[in-house]
Amino acid sequence: MTTEQGDQQWFERVYANANGQTDDISWADLRPNPFMLKWFAKTPVDAQGKTAVVVGCGLGDDAEELVQRGFNVTAFDVSPTAVEWCQRRFPETKVNYTLADLFNLPPDWKFDFVLEINTVQAIPVAVRQQVINAIASLVAPDGTLLAIGRLADSVSQQLKRPWPLTRGEIDLYKQAGLTETHFETFGDSEIAALSLERFLVTYTR
């Protein structure tokens, strides 16, 4: 069993063991990510007629936000239980919730807007470059990637899950052919106690 296969099963187990109880999914806030909403509030984004993809969509709140904003949204997760849960939570949704694995993406997938929140940091550091390359490959020409996660000052902060990203790891998106257009860091009470900050970064291709 490879590291990544073991990890996929880890997520499926968490969702399946929760048995429909959202409280048991520690990362599920049941609302769109507030840092993404702040970014949208200050960044003009023309969503009409544009495609978007949500990487590791979890229980679907960010995907629903993007569809409300006018994108044609695909949202994928490696956990079948998470995908079914999204479909149950949003039975009338226009989002295409689908099962897909970052380690084996359909080669023709390209999107105008790619959203990655807290998924790269949930996958082991050993396969980080592979995961970042896969996410970068989703960005269509002239497309945008918005990524949000926890920032590590040093590799010593990457000892336990979630494994925050170092600045050097975030820069792997540039090595994968994207151009950085914005980078900011900020704190919040949830992670301040861990002496961590969050980052928000955008790229274009």
B/e letters for 27-44, b = 16+ CB within 10 Å, e = fewer, are ebeeebbebbeebbeeee
Q: Which of 123, 176, 178, 200 binds ligand SAM (CB under 6 A)?
A: 123
Q: Which of 36, 52, 56, 158 binds ligand SAM (CB under 6 A)?
A: 56
Q: Which of 53, 78, 83, 165 binds ligand SAM (CB under 6 A)?
A: 78
How many residues bind ligand SAM (CB under 6 A)? The answer is 19
Q: How far is the CB of 83 from ligand SAM (least distance, A)?
A: 9
Burial of 78 (0-12, 13-18, 19+ CB in 10 A): buried
What is the full DSSP assignment across 154-199? Answer: SGGG-SSSS-PBPHHHHTHHHHTT-EEEEEEEE--HHHHTTT-EEE
Instruction: Between 119 and 166, name the residue whose CB sits nearer to ligand SAM.
Output: 119
Residues within window 16-55 making contact with ligand SAM, judged by CB under 6 A: 27, 33
By CB under 6 A, residue 117 contacts ligand SAM: yes
Residues that bind ligand SAM (CB under 6 A): 7-8, 11, 27, 33, 56, 58, 77-79, 82, 101-103, 117-119, 122-123
